[in-house]
Amino acid sequence: MALSAFLVGVAPASAAGNEDFKAFNMWFDVTSLSNTNECIPSWVTARYRDPVSGSDTWTRLVRTNNNGCETDPEHLQKFGDFQNTWSKVNLLGGPKPGQHLYWKDLTSLTLTVITPNTPPGRQKCVSVNRFGIWAQDTNNYWHELFNEQVEHIFCDGFNDFEMFVKH
């Protein structure tokens, strides 16, 4: 007896090409949390090779829904994302209107989590042990760009974690 599994909306495995990504879902597993704030600023910066100049270029993703807990569209967090230890956080974002992010040019995505000092001088921390990135192309197929188990603590000025895209 043979068992099969079908994934709906997942592109067939192939080398990175001209897929133009319109949405990103970055997820991570929170393992420790010394913070009870409802809204911790979080954003994602995409690094890509500019096809015209050939140089590295950076751009922040923007929120693709209205669920943010503040007005800055580059801050992707929602109310309560950082309320519980052992939770999974999903940040949804996409390129700015009129901008194109092609898989073949995409180098990395950097997650930034700004942990507040409350009270001043007492840093709060967020510990994560697994990160993943999926991107949706303009044909509505999803591509897994990163999925690794790695421990990182966002705290005391160490607020960035760069994930290199798998090609």
* Contact present, 148 and 165 (Cβ < 8 Å): no
Integer Cα distance of 35 and 33 in angstroms: 5
More confident residue, 78 or 162: 162
pLDDT at 167 over 90: no
Domain assignment of residue 58, given as a range: 20-66+84-164
Number of domains observed in the structure of the chain: 1
Query: Is position 6 within any domain?
Result: no
Share of residues in the chain with pLDDT > 70 (%): 83
pLDDT in the model for residue 95 = 93
Q: How confident is the model at residue 163 (pLDDT cuts 50, 70, 90)?
A: very high
Buried b (16+ CB within 10 A) or exposed e, 20-33: ebbbbbbebebbeb
Q: How confident is the model at residue 107 (pLDDT cuts 50, 70, 90)?
A: very high
Q: Which two tokens stand for residue 41?
A: 């600023």
Query: Is position 9 within any domain?
Result: no
Residue 40: which CATH number?
2.60.60.20
- Using a 10 angstrom Cβ sphere, with 0-12 exposed, 13-18 middle and 19 or more buried, the burial of residue 128 is buried
Q: What is the pLDDT of residues 12-58, one digit of tens each?
A: 445 567 899 999 999 998 888 765 566 788 899 999 998 888 899 99
